[in-house]
Amino acid sequence: MKKILFVFGTRPEAIKMAPLVHELQNRKKQFSVKICVTAQHRSMLDDVLKIFRIVPDYDLNIMKDAQSLEHITELVMRKVTPVLKSFKPDMVLVHGDTSTTFVTALAAFYQRIPVGHVEAGLRSYDYNNPFPEEANRRLTDDLSSLHFAATMIGKENLIAENISEKNIYITGNTVIDALKWAVMRPHVFENKELRAFFGKIMLDPDSQVVLVTAHRRENFGKPMENVCRALKSVADKYKNVRIIYPVHLNPNVQNPVNRILGKHPRVLLLPPLNYLDFSCLMERATFIVTDSGGLQEEAPSLGKPVLVLRKVTERPEAVAASTAKVIGTDYARVVKEISQLITNDSLYTKMANAVNPYGDGKAAARTADAILHYFGSGKRPKDFTPN
Q: Residues with catalytic annotation?
A: 97, 119, 133, 215, 217, 248
Cα–Cα distance for residue pair 115/145, rounded to 1 Å: 5
Contact 276, 301 (CB under 8 A): no
Q: What is the CA radius of gyration of the chain?
A: 21
Q: Which long-range contacts (CB under 8 A, 24 or more apart) does 128-133 make?
A: 128/218, 129/218, 129/310, 129/311, 129/312, 130/97, 130/216, 130/217, 130/218, 130/293, 130/310, 130/314, 131/217, 131/218, 132/69, 132/99, 133/96, 133/97, 133/98, 133/293
Q: Is 66 exposed, middle or buried (0-12, 13-18, 19+ CB in 10 A)?
A: exposed
Using the 8-state DSSP alphabet, how is residue 278 labeled? H
Distance CA 98, CA 73 (A): 10
Q: How many CB atoms lie within 10 A of CB 61?
A: 13
Nearest alpha carbon to residue 359 among 338, 339, 385: 385
